[in-house]
Chain A
Amino acid sequence: EADIYQTPRYLVIGTGKKITLECSQTMGHDKMYWYQQDPGMELHLIHYSYGVNSTEKGDLSSESTVSRIRTEHFPLTLESARPSHTSQYLCASSETSTGDTEAFFGQGTRLTVV
């Protein structure tokens, strides 16, 4: 079934650890996004990508990096996790080659940094 998948769903790690949050979509979408969201609160754009080898920073990106080597895969890496990174991370994708369309969101990764 075409969808967008995030792993892990939940993660508890110690301060200073390096982590990678995985995101894959099987819809063939060109555009992908990472958002940070505290439960029920505003969506903050961290990074986005127009396609393979294209990445752009959002409003909240200074402490993380992304890569887009394959169309379907858009991992997010935190080089050194801090308690302030505790939040939910949502990956999304959309198709824009024929005009703007809706964004499909993954189930999210709930990260806790202790």
Chain B
Amino acid sequence: GENVEQHPSTLSVQEGDSAVIKCTYSDSASNYFPWYKQELGKRPQLIIDIRSNVGEKKDQRIAVTLNKTAKHFSLHITETQPEDSAVYFCATHTGGFKTIFGAGTRLFVKA
């Protein structure tokens, strides 16, 4: 069946460094790729998304890149800050059907 693999499961960086989280998906019909951030004890919230007709999208310190041929997409966070510490989930959607989430990446930003 369809699946999304997310790596790494845990990532620790120094404040100010960059962080990269990668996801690989199996369903070539996937057309929407959101990223969610879940802070401790809170609900997941969208931080950035990208659609299949776009290769890259940026919003201040965060960016997402998509390679449809290789079926992978990545989240890039630059100039990390302690408040970036959270669990990040990638997801894929296929034509309004079931959403598939990655297993999550726990990001620690050390001050």
On A, residues with C-beta under 8 Å from B are: 31, 33, 39-43, 45, 48, 50, 56, 58, 90, 94, 96, 99-103, 105-108
Q: Which residues of A lie under 8 Å from residue B45 when comparing CB positions?
A: 105
How many A-B pairs have beta carbons closer than 8 Å: the answer is 52
Given contacts A42-B104, A100-B95, A108-B43, 7 further A-B contacts (CB under 8 A): A48-B99, A50-B96, A96-B96, A100-B96, A101-B32, A103-B99, A105-B44
With the chains together, A50 CA to B95 CA distance in Å? 12
Please state if B93 and A100 are interface contacts (CB–CB under 8 Å). Answer: yes
Q: What are 5 pairs between A and B in contact, CB < 8 Å?
A: A31-B96, A45-B99, A90-B43, A100-B96, A108-B43
Number of interface residues of B (CB under 8 A): 24
By the criterion CB–CB under 8 Å, are B93 and A48 in contact? no
Q: Which residues of B are in contact with A by a Cβ distance under 8 Å?
A: 31-32, 34, 36, 38, 40-41, 43-46, 49, 87, 89, 91, 93, 95-96, 98-99, 101, 103-104, 106
In contact, A42 and B103 (Cβ under 8 angstroms): yes
Q: In the docked arrangement, what's the CA distance between A81 and B59, Å?
A: 44
Which secondary structure dominates where chain B touches chain A? strand
The A contact surface, by secondary structure, is: loop
Q: Is the CB of A100 within 8 A of B43?
A: no
B89, B93, B96, B98: the one within 8 Å of A45 (CB): B98
Shortest beta-carbon distance from A96 to chain B in Å: 4
B87 & A40 in contact (Cβ 8 Å cutoff): yes
Shortest C-beta distance, A29 to chain B (Å), equals 12
A48 to B91: give the CA distance in the assembly, Å. Answer: 16
Contacts of A101 in B (CB 8 A): 32
Q: A40-B87, A40-B104, A102-B34 are in contact. Are A33 and B43 (CB under 8 A)?
A: no
- A40-B38, A40-B87, A96-B96 as given contacts; A102 in contact with B46, CB under 8 Å: yes
**Cα distance A100–B98 when bound, in Å?**
10
Nearest Cβ on chain B to A85's Cβ, whole angstroms: 20
